[in-house]
Amino acid sequence: MTHITYIEPSGNTVTVDVTEGWSLMQAAIAKGIDGIVGECGGSCACATCHCYVDEARLADLPPPSEGERGMLGNVSAERRPNSRLACQIKAGPALEGLVVTLPQTQE
Amino acid sequence: MGHVVIVGAGQAGVQAAEALRSGGFTGEITLLGDEAHCPYHRPPLSKAWLAGEMDAAQLVMRAPELLAKKGIGLRTGVRVARIDRPSQTLLLADGSRLPYTGLVLATGATPRRLPIPGAHAAGVLALRTRDDASAIAEHFKQCAETQLPVVVIGGGFIGLEVAATARKKGLAVTVLEAAPRLLGRVLAPLLCDWYAQLHRSHGVALQLDARIEAIDVNAQGHACAVRLAGGARVPAGLVVMGVGVNANDELARTAGLACERGIVVDACGRTGDPRIVAAGDCTARRLPDGTLLRLESVQNATEQGKSAAAALLGQERPFTATPWFWSDQFDKKLQMAGLSAGADAWTLRGPLDGPSFSVYHYRSGKLIAVDSVNAPMDHVLARKLLDGGVSPAPEQAADPGFKLGGLLTSP
């Protein structure tokens, strides 16, 4: 289990025990976290699971694939250097304690 | 107040339910699903789910607690027998009645079966639901043990995705396509040929112009081969039929609503009955020129779900954005923006034998659609160009050095 903290658009904070190998999108959907949609089911095709990763931890994540970088061009909220798609981030020991902030809008 | 009943708990139904709430509806919402499962994502069914790389919890689209939190009452395993419009009541298959003040039909579609002998035999499967995909996955295991091939009938997206997953699992795969090209109705000819080559290079035995006559069954009644015109037999441990779907419009049709291979709706999801709207794969949208458009996609289900909910709330929210679709096969992601039907010219950006490229479809000199392979930036830009009615000249589209995004910001 990896502890991931989601900051919902309202500012509400929820910490979730995420099973290793699950994406941060899947875990958020399973827990009913607000501010994440995941319309395409994790196919990296819709850009509705946009999140901002704690900048201090960016280096703990594998860099975004070409496909993810492309789809980040279609996010609804402001794209920032720490923008990622939650469906492409898989939980594992390196991510323990990670905090991700969800944007005000996904669509 | 009131009570909105949504028939169908897939993408469109769930979106409609949530859009009703976010649109300010405070009455009761009942979401009826005919499957046993809570709402789940369909796109992974032909890929990661079929490959056994996901568990059921990862497939969940909306956690039941989240729906409950939003005041959406989910009832699974429920079939609707009939709509009684005069009394605004649904008759359920168990004999009970469910009154509504607003009704959303999001009934989806059902895979077709070829009208040939053996089409309904054991071992002949189609893919629509989670249970369908699980059954195919079980047969994959048997095919691995018996060393019998998987035969896919139909070289469309579903069939080709199943074929790619089967190859990934190390199974022998034959794809039989009746047309001279794979995906011939949706892609440019050069891309159809590229897909044929992609599948062949991954070891798929591909037969185009296949004239399928019957599915032979063994003594146990299980499909064992596909028989072609001329007598050739393709041995099979499993036959997957991917020959398209029929819209589930029976409920609407028997209730007297207009249906033409789908429930006829306007751009806002409205039917002829002001209390009934429809969304997703079950619909056929009437376009301004009078023709009907059927789309089967996640985006269409999502957008129509939202439009239909807004219509019930008395709001105008037409779905007019550029349609987009995708398909994952092997390590290639195809992303399509726009509708390419009627294209009369194509322009290629990037080499077909390179890691990524896009095909730009033109009709009478105007850009109407873009298909991108492993080129998500082209795809995202294409949606923006098409949404904005911006049409790059073919020579601009063909030049990878030309920044198409610059056309968006020009005055």
Assess whether pLDDT exceeds 70 at residue B410. no
List B150's β-bridge partners, or say none: B173, B238
Q: Which residues contact A28 (CB under 8 A, 6 or more apart)?
A: A6, A16, A36, A38, A49, A86, A102
- Give the length of chain A: 107
Closest residue in B to A74 (Cα) is B380
Tokens 């033409």, residue located: B260
One fold for both B3-110+246-312 and B124-241?
yes
Residue B366 has pLDDT above 80, yes or no: yes
CA neighbor of A87 nearest in space, from A18, A24, A1: A24
Question: Cβ-count burial of B208 within 10 angstroms (0-12 exposed, 13-18 middle, 19+ buried)?
Answer: middle
Task: Determine the average pLDDT of the residues in B175-186.
Answer: 95
Q: B66 touching A, CB under 8 A?
A: yes
Domain boundaries, chain B: 3-110+246-312, 124-241, 331-409
- Put simply, the answer to whether B376 touches A43 (Cβ < 8 Å) is no
- Predicted model pTM: 0.95
Whether A6 has its CB under 8 Å from any CB of chain B: the answer is no
Give residue B411's pLDDT.
Answer: 43
* d(C-alpha B274, C-alpha A97), whole Å: 51
Residue A53, strand partner residues = A100
Q: A43 to chain B: which residues are within 8 Å by CB?
A: 43-44, 47, 326, 328
| ipTM, two decimals | 0.90
Cα gap A17→A24, rounded to integer Å: 10
- pLDDT of A81 > 50? The answer is yes
Residue A43 Ramachandran class (φ > 0 left, ψ -120 to 50 alpha, else beta): alpha
Closest residue of B to A30, CA-based? B63
Taking domain B124-241, whether its CATH number is 3.50.50.60 is answered by: yes
Percentage of residues in chain B with pLDDT exceeding 90? Answer: 97
Tell me the average pLDDT across B194-199: 98
A24 close to A4: Cβ distance less than 8 angstroms: yes
Contact A44, A88 (CB under 8 A): yes
pLDDT, mean of residues B161-181: 98
pLDDT given for residue B107 in this prediction: 98
B94 contact partners, CB below 8 Å, separation of at least 6: B78, B79
**Residue B88 confidence (pLDDT) above 80:** yes
Mean pLDDT, rounded, for B70-98: 97
Q: Is the pLDDT of residue B179 over 80?
A: yes
Q: For the domain B331-409, what is the CATH code?
A: 3.30.390.30
Amino acid B11: pLDDT: 97
Assess B317–A contact: CB distance below 8 Å, yes or no: no
Task: Give the mutation candidate from B324, B357, B377 for the A interface (greatest A CB count, under 10 A).
Answer: B377
Listing from the earlier edge strand, what are the strands of the sheet with A50-53?
A: A13-18, A2-7, A98-101, A50-53, A83-85
B47 closest CA partner among B164, B138, B176:
B164
* pLDDT for residue B65: 82
Please compute the mean of the pLDDT values over residues B31-54 and round it to a whole number: 96
Superfamily of domain B3-110+246-312: FAD/NAD(P)-binding domain (3.50.50.60)
CA gap B261, B266 in Å, rounded:
15
Tell me the count of A-B CB pairs closer than 8 A. Answer: 77
CATH superfamily of A2-101: Beta-grasp domain (3.10.20.30)
B22 touches chain A (CB under 8 A): no
The residues that bridge with B277 in the sheet, in sequence order, are B104, B270
Question: Residue B66 has what pLDDT?
Answer: 84
B392 three-state secondary structure: coil
What does pLDDT average to over chain B?
A: 96
| Comparison of pLDDT for B135 and A32, the residue scoring more | B135
pLDDT at B191 > cutoff 70: yes
Strand partners for A51: A84
Chosen for mutation from A19, A36, A37, A39 (greatest number of chain B CBs closer than 10 Å) is: A39
**Nearest-CA distance B296 → chain A (Å):** 13
Please calculate the CA angle B394-B397-B401 and round it to the nearest 5 degrees: 135
- Interchain proximity A43–B59, CB inside 8 Å: no
Which of B38, B49, B55, B58 has the most A C-beta neighbours within 10 Å, making it the best mutation to test the interface with A?
A: B58
Percent above pLDDT 90 for chain A:
93
DSSP A19: P
pLDDT (average), residues B167-187: 96
Whether residues B298 and A74 touch (CB distance < 8 A) is answered with: no
* Contact criterion met (CB < 8 Å) for A70 and B380: yes
Give chain A's count of helices (H) and strands (E). Answer: 2, 5
Please tell me the predicted confidence (pLDDT) of residue B290: 95
Longest alpha-carbon distance in chain A:
32
